[in-house]
Amino acid sequence: MVNLVALQMTSTPDVNENLAAVSDAMADASIAPDSLVVLPECFACFGGKDKGQLAIAEEKGKGPIQAHLSQLAKDYQCYIISGTFPLQTESADMFSAACMLFAPNGECLADYRKIHMFDVSVNDATGSYKESRFTQAGNEVITVSTPIGNIGLAVCYDIRFPGLFTAMGDIDVLVLPAAFTQKTGEAHWHALLKARAIEKQCFVVAAGQTGTHANGRETFGHSIVISPWGETLAELATEKGVVKASVDIAQRETIKQNMPVAEHNRFRSHFV
């Protein structure tokens, strides 16, 4: 059995405050060894101006955010998905939204950069979002094989693009750090996550931001763990905290044998 865990946060623009919140939440949740813990998108800094992310952007392999998560992974002997935090790029005016997987020994096993930029209009207090103004989009599909299963990494707006998940091939767990807006979350959050779980026949762990943030942005919350059959195994509504479910990854094999969707697919991605 594997514990799948999502942390739901109302992150602030203060990095130290957010790192402390992660530490406190993990301590309160009594994280077991070999758990998979997923943090929300922008967990380390959220609710300020997007350009402010540039000031805290780290070099890969260096910096207090990465060091803190690496140490937590070692302390709890667990796997941690870093949500996202800003990493430096070759441009001084751009950062990338990095989603890293830290192993129980503290090593970084995977580094996914969010591919799809949230450049949209939403009928909420913020109104217009243009993530690409300061965020450099990634271009690489990332999956990683671990002792607890094959893990696919994606972030927030990525969930709307099924081709990304087809390109991942066979995965046991899809992780999705997110900061869905209140409006789009109400409309599409559950439907999109369950669709990905059902079509990939995999577990989904989605960790979200929640509540009203310092800049007035409203996020949806509803962090959730979903089964390969599309069932909700655990969910946290709008409060801050931790949601977790103990699952048998091997359950996927029975589902895939009974309904071999991947084998039947006549429109395979050239990545598969």
Residues taking part in catalysis: 41, 114, 156
**Strand ranges inside the chain, DSSP E:** 2-8, 36-38, 79-81, 85-88, 95-102, 108-113, 119-121, 128-130, 143-146, 149-153, 173-178, 203-208, 210-212, 218-220, 223-226, 232-236, 241-247
Question: Rounded to 5 degrees, what angle do the CA atoms 96, 208, 183 make?
Answer: 100
Taking only Cα atoms into account, the Rg of the chain, rounded to an integer number of angstroms, comes to: 17
Coil vs helix vs strand at 210: strand
DSSP, res 135: B
Contact (CB, 8 A) for 185 and 164: no
Match 């243009």 to its residue by tokens: 130
- CB proximity list for 185: less than 8 A, separation 6 or greater: 208, 219, 220, 221, 222
Three-state secondary structure call for residue 10: coil
261: which residues sit within 8 A by CB, 6+ positions away? 199, 201
Paired with 181 in beta bridges are 219
Helix (H) or strand (E) holding 188, with range, is helix 182-200
